Amino acid sequence: MDRLRPMLGERVTDAASVRGQFGRSEAYRQPSPPDLVARPADAGEVQAIVRACHELRAPVVAFGAGTSLEGNAAAVRGGLCLDMSAMDQVVAVRLADMDVRVGPGIRRKALNAALRDTGLFFPIDPGAAASIGGMASTRGSGTMAVRYGTMRDAVLSLEVVLPDGRLIRTGRRARKSAAGYDLTRLFVGAEGTLGVITEVTLRLHPIPEAIAAAVCPFPALRAAVDATIAVMQVAIPVARIELLDAVMMRGVNRYAGFAYPEQPTLFVEFHGTRNAVGEQGERVRAIVAEHGAAEMQWAREPEARSRLWHARDNTLYAGRGLRPGSEAIITDVCVPISALAECLEETSRDLESSGLLAPLVGHVGDGNFHLLLLVDPSDGAEIARARARCMRGSSRARLRSTGRAPASTGLARASGRIWCRNWAARSRRCARSNRRWTR
CA dihedral in degrees (430, 432, 438, 439; nearest 10)? -140
The answer to whether 120 touches 108, Cβ cutoff 8 Å, is no
Q: What is the pTM of this model?
A: 0.88
Beta carbons within 8 Å of 387's beta carbon, 6+ residues apart = 329
Nearest to 200 by CA among 180, 219, 184: 184
The domain 210-317 having CATH identifier 3.30.70.2190: the answer here is yes
**Residue of 85, 199, 223 lying closest to 136 (CA atoms):** 199
**SS3 of residue 199 by DSSP:** strand
pLDDT of residue 169: 96
C-alpha closest to that of 14 among 192, 23, 104: 23
Report the candidate in 42, 52, 45 with the shortest Cα–Cα distance to residue 1. 52
- Residue 343 and residue 335: Cα distance in Å, rounded? 8
pLDDT at res. 180: 83
For residue 404, what are the β-bridge partners?
334
Report, in angstroms and rounded to the nearest whole number, the Rg of the chain calculated over CA atoms: 22
CB atoms within 10 A of CB 94: 14
Quote the pLDDT of residue 371: 92
How far is Cα 149 from Cα 171, in angstroms, rounded to an integer?
A: 20
CA distances from 53 to 6, 17, 47, 251, 398 (A): 15, 22, 10, 45, 39
Helices first, then strands: H and E counts in the chain:
18, 19
Q: Domain 5-85 adopts which CATH fold?
A: 3.30.43
CB 213 within 8 A of CB 298: yes
Q: How are beta strands 196-203 and 99-102 bridged, if at all?
A: antiparallel
Domain coordinates of the chain in residue numbers? 5-85, 87-206, 210-317, 323-425
pLDDT value, residue 134:
96
Beta bridge pairs of residue 357: 374
Fold for the domain defined by 323-425: Alpha-Beta Plaits (3.30.70)
**Which of 405, 435, 407 shows the shortest CA–CA distance to 419?**
405
* Calpha distance 306→108 (Å, rounded): 16
Neighbours of 32 (CB within 10 A): 18
Residue 100 near residue 204, CB atoms below 8 Å: yes
First-last CA distance in the chain: 23
Amino acid at 86: A
Domain 210-317 identical in fold to domain 323-425: yes
Q: Phi and psi for 356 in degrees, rounded to 5?
A: -85, 145
- What integer pLDDT is reported at residue 68 of this predicted model? 86
Tell me what pLDDT residue 164 has. 95
Quote the CA–CA distance of 404 and 415 in Å, as a whole number: 11
Helix axes 221-233, 274-290, angle to 10 degrees: 140
One digit per residue, pLDDT tens: the chain, 439 residues? Answer: 788 999 999 999 999 999 999 988 777 777 889 999 999 999 999 999 999 999 999 999 999 999 888 888 889 899 999 999 999 999 999 999 999 999 999 999 999 999 999 999 999 999 888 999 999 999 999 999 999 999 999 999 999 999 999 999 999 878 888 888 999 999 999 999 999 999 999 999 999 999 999 999 999 999 999 999 999 999 999 999 999 999 999 999 999 999 999 999 999 999 999 999 999 999 999 999 999 999 999 999 999 999 999 999 999 999 999 999 999 999 888 889 889 998 888 888 888 888 899 999 999 999 999 999 999 999 999 999 898 887 765 555 555 555 555 555 554 555 555 545 554 566 656 666 655 545 5
CATH architecture classification, 87-206: 2-Layer Sandwich (3.30)
Q: Among the residues of 68-201, which ranges form H helices?
A: 108-115, 132-137, 145-148, 151-154, 183-187
For residue 180, the tally of other CB atoms under 10 A from its CB is 7
pLDDT for position 393 = 56
